[in-house]
Amino acid sequence: MRVLTLDDLDDMVLGATLLGTGGGGDPYIARLMVRQAMEDFGTVKIVTPSELDPDGLVLTVAVIGAPTVISEKVPAGPEFIGVVNALATYLGKKPVAIMPIEVGGMNTLIPLAVAAELGLPVIDADSMRRAFPQIEMTVFTLAGIPCSPMSVADEKGNLMVFETTDNQMAEKLARSAVMQLGLANGISCYSMSVRQVAESGIQGSMTYCVELGKRLMAVQRGESGAFDEFLKFAEAKIYFSGKIIDLDRRTTDGFAKGTVVIEHMTDPNRTMHIEIQNELLIATEDGKPIITTPDLICILDYENAQPITTETLAYGQRVNVIGLPCAPEWHQPGMLDLVGPKAFGYDIPYVKMGGTK
Amino acid sequence: MSRLKIGIDVGGTNTDAVVVDEDGQVIASTKSATTLDPSDGIAKALSEVIAGVDKSKITQAMLGTTHPANAIIQRRNLQTVGVLRLAAPSSLAIRPGAAWPKDLHASVIGPSAIVGGGYEYDGREIAPLEEKAIREFAQKCKGKVSAIAVSCAFAPANYDQELRAGVILAEELGADFPVSLSHQVGQIGLLERENATILNASLFGVAEGVVNGFHNALKGHGLKVDSFLTQNDGTLMTAEEAIRLPILTVGSGPTNSMRGACALAKLSDALVIDVGGTSADCGILVDGFPRESAAAIEVGGVRTNFRMPDLISIGLGGGTIVRQDGNGVKCGPDSVGYKVITEALINGGSTLTLSDISTKGGRLSGFGDASKLSGVSDEVVKQALAWVDEQIQNLSDRMKASRSTMPLIAVGGGSHLIPKKIAGIAEVITPNHHAVANAFGAAIAEASGTVDRVYRYAEQGRDACLDEARRLATEAAVRAGADAKQVRITAVIEVPMSYLPGQGCRVQVKAAGPLAS
């Protein structure tokens, strides 16, 4: 068990921005929410599954919508408390802990604000350890754990609980609901026992996020050896250093797509193409895949090592492209069909990066 | 009859002024030290610059000033502000003023309230405007605050509720009570826009002082001219508007310098390095406007959503101190700053500075007495200049967007330090009057209008949406004083909204044009 401090929060925000892999929403707003919740309701405990009753109920909570909208229609609070309480009522059982679905982007922090208000611990696990655009893209789907029953709510008191036949349908229904509910909503799904979290979840995600952020913070402070230490901890590598020479954004069919082209810093004959769909998904050099989803692509500012989100990418930025291996829990049958390059419509093979933690 | 314009720029160190004719030629210029009360410096610069000019030909005067920015940074003369947010039940999870530095929060933010109101992304109301709560809030503020800042969810797209709230506040507190509405101040991002609106309202007193000083100086010389202030993006607002929107001037200094440099060199695409006494700032101009930074900008420790010129600053200037360090030399990072005019060896002082090095190395002449440098060895000069050249090379490499070569414009009092040959730079240009590039940038500034809102392409189609945004920006520019015949679109930025199927897109359009005569 560890008690989360405001200092941890800064590290966590940076780690979450990195794990957002270009998307996941700016964690800044979520951090302000957590601060206010901690001021009003007290600190939050992070616990491992072994510290809880294996039969206890764990409920997840997240924000669903569009980051640009959330920056205008800032969260209220009751939409998140509401979805958790509604699901607990529906299941007829009180939760023993709150869990993030997505440790990456703003959804890393939303569960902390909810846990502070409900006086519950946050379980140190999740289902992605990066950002993904759709609810079914989780290790829980691979383990056959249903997403539904699920609840979606807005800040006004509109709330629904529903069940679906599979996790893909859950994504579709939730997405059409939030279009009506104002695109800045609370969602709770993947209710499960502590035992199921221990068996099927990605373990230690919150701690990993804080530790990652702490090491990147040291890089940003310019501490000697910090970059090597950061890369070693993340089992990551700098795959490319260069300057953004082209940026093509499209809003063709549904989700925003785009391509960013980076010219090598010292060898003008080398260029890297990175494909974007909400997050950075595929990095290729001369058509050859270098980093592929679900492994993480992170673009860091060359000078100050700040992760750059897809919305703030700009022509002329000097960047390092870092590849981080995805959580090892992802490597199981069905992974590529669910979150590999083909799942996003790219006809290229997955390049395994490895990774042990 | 040829008409003349005056440009004045109040910087941290110097107050510069120029008189410019219709062809953009500098008729007169002056440079003097910035005074404690900037009005004194403005009055002095003005009287110097118009001394030999036919005053009857002057029709417009433009002022660029860092005074509001310094007021925030130094927490001086800021007023207490009541904060009203129209957004409940949304946004209750984050109170106004969250994450402000404690000292600034204590001196600026008074009572605050989040009341029913605001809009959804698709234009529906989050809640009807809670008028009774606004009246109660106004009474709570009475006698406690000097101004009120009003923000509203999605105000950049729809500001009816903000206008209505303004009317209610006027009914409760009097028509003259100062109120700042967020849609006039900032762009998308409620919390950042609210922060900027609060800072704006806290600056009303400072702004009035600056504008009155400017007007009194003009009147004192019998000048009956239209007066304007320059904004962060290098365009103008009227002096009357500037009293209501002082926050929009906080980043105007570097912008004026870069645009002035560019126009003096008659280029629209170039790197600009402004070398002062203490630091060198490097930026890049694209189509005559500075490239803006993508990151959120903090003003006095408060996060805002202003776009500012993308600048890299390094500690290299005419006053940078040079020290012997074993067999080598160490330059800076400290500097004697503006005291270079007395502290440098060439000026009879006792500190070896880069101005001394530049003089001995043959890059600077006519500044002080070169004979005072007999004690400085050629080896020290060689090593210090090698350091300078390397720094400038790195600076231009970092700022350049592509491998192709481009021109570099060198401006500022320390621009003599910039070498004539830099890899990747087509040529180094030091234009005439470069020392007053800031004031020239203010004098040639144009009027502009901007639009920043979310469109759903699926409903009307992309072309229709972009056409509407271009039209609204053009109309806004004309309202700001631009000549309708010469307005052009200077920027269109489309950022698709992620995680939103249905082709939602944030569209930002800017239009600008020369002032109508």
Nearest-angstrom CA–CA distance, A276 and A279: 6
CA-based nearest residue in chain B for residue A171: B499
Task: Output the pLDDT for position B132.
Answer: 98
Does the beta carbon of B90 lie under 8 angstroms from any beta carbon of chain A? Answer: yes
Contact B497 A184 (CB under 8 A): no
The CATH classification of domain A236-344, taken from the options 1.10.260.40, 3.40.50.300, 1.10.3720.10, 2.40.390.10: 2.40.390.10
The kind and range of the H/E element at B214 are helix B204-220
Q: What own/partner pairs with CB < 8 Å and gap ≥ 24 does A296-301 have?
A: A296/A19, A296/A21, A296/A130, A296/A323, A296/A324, A296/A325, A296/A326, A297/A21, A297/A22, A297/A321, A297/A322, A297/A323, A298/A18, A298/A21, A298/A22, A298/A322, A298/A323, A298/A324, A299/A22, A299/A260, A299/A274
B450, HSE (Cβ side, Cα atoms, 13 Å): 24
B454 at A interface, C-beta within 8 A: yes
From the list B121, B15, B117, B129, the residue with the least C-alpha distance to B64 is B15
**Closest chain A residue to B456, measured at CA:** A251
Q: If residue A227 lies in a helix (H) or strand (E), which one and from where to where? A: helix A226-234
Q: Note the pLDDT of residue A255.
A: 60
Q: How far is CA A259 from the centre of its chain?
A: 21
Q: Is B164 on the interface with A (CB under 8 A)?
A: no
Hunting for tokens 């800032």 — which residue is that? Answer: A74
Token pair recorded at residue B481: 């004083």
Evaluate the CA torsion angle B358, B362, B363, B367 in order and state its sign. Answer: positive
Q: Which residue has the tokens 């010389």?
A: B221
Which of A:269-298 have CB within 8 Å of B? 278
Task: Give the ranges where B302-436 is alpha helix by DSSP (H).
Answer: 340-343, 354-360, 378-399
ipTM: 0.93
Token readout for B83 is 């904060």
| A6 close to B (CB below 8 A) | no
pLDDT of residue A250: 67
Taking the domain A2-205, which CATH number applies? 3.40.1610.10
Cβ within 8 Å, pair B153-A72: yes
First-last CA distance in chain A: 20
Q: What is the pLDDT of residue A13?
A: 96
Which DSSP letter does residue A214 get? H
HSE-up of B127 (CA within 13 Å, CB side)?
A: 20
With a CB cutoff of 8 Å and minimum separation 6, the contacts of B28 are B18, B19, B49, B50, B51, B52, B53
Distance from C-alpha of B472 to C-alpha of A353, rounded to nearest angstrom: 50
What angle, rounded to 10 degrees, do the helices at A6-19 and A27-41 form?
Answer: 150
Q: Does B290 touch chain A (CB under 8 A)?
A: no
User: Which residue in chain B has the smallest CA separation from A72?
Assistant: B190
Per-residue pLDDT of chain A (357 residues; tens, 9 = 90+): 899 988 889 999 999 999 999 999 889 999 999 999 999 999 999 999 999 999 999 999 999 998 889 999 999 999 999 999 999 999 999 999 999 999 999 999 999 999 999 999 999 999 999 999 999 999 999 999 999 999 999 999 999 999 999 999 999 999 989 989 999 999 999 999 999 999 999 999 999 999 999 999 999 998 999 999 999 999 999 999 998 888 887 655 556 678 999 999 889 899 999 999 889 999 999 999 999 999 999 999 988 899 998 888 887 788 999 999 999 999 999 999 999 999 999 999 999 997 777
Q: Which of A69, A158, A178, A180 to mutate to test the interface with B (most CBs of B within 10 A)?
A: A69
**What pLDDT digit, counting tens, does each position of B189-227 carry?**
999 999 999 999 999 999 999 999 999 999 999 999 999
Could you tell me the mean pLDDT of each successive run of 10 residues in chain B, 517 residues long?
Answer: 88 87 93 82 93 93 90 91 98 96 96 97 93 98 97 92 98 97 91 97 95 94 93 88 92 90 93 90 86 78 85 90 90 86 93 96 91 93 96 86 83 92 93 92 92 82 91 93 91 76 78 87
Following DSSP, what letter does each residue of A166-199 receive, concatenated? SHHHHHHHHHHHHHHHTSEEEEE---EEHHHHHH
pLDDT number for residue A357 = 77
Are B62 and B8 a contacting pair, CB within 8 Å? yes
Q: What is the pLDDT of residue B325?
A: 82
Sheet holding A288-292, edge to edge: A288-292, A279-285, A271-277, A257-264, A237-250, A318-324, A296-301
Question: Which residue among A78, A182, A245 places its CB closest to the CB of B121?
Answer: A182
Question: pLDDT tens digit string along A176-219?
Answer: 899 899 999 999 999 999 999 999 999 999 999 999 999 999 99
Tell me if chain A has a CB within 8 Å of the CB of B461.
Answer: no
A35: contact with B, CB 8 A cutoff: yes
Q: Is B493 on the interface with A (CB under 8 A)?
A: no
List the structure tokens of A155.
């800040």
Angle at which helices A78-91 and A110-118 pack, to 10 degrees?
Answer: 70
Residue B505's nearest CA partner among B455, B449, B463, B461 is B455
Nearest-CA distance B295 → chain A (Å): 7
- Helix (H) or strand (E) holding A203, with range, is strand A202-203
Least CB–CB distance from B498: residue in A66, A245, A318: A66
C-beta of residue B212 within 8 angstroms of C-beta of residue B74: no
Please give the radius of gyration of chain B, using alpha carbons only, rounded to the nearest integer: 25
From residue B52, give the alpha-carbon distance in Å to each of A286, B30, B44, B219, B498.
65, 12, 14, 18, 59
Give the H or E element holding residue B492: strand B488-496
Which residues in chain B touch residue A316, judged by CB atoms under 8 angstroms apart?
Answer: 284, 291, 400-402
The domain limits of chain A are: 2-205, 236-344
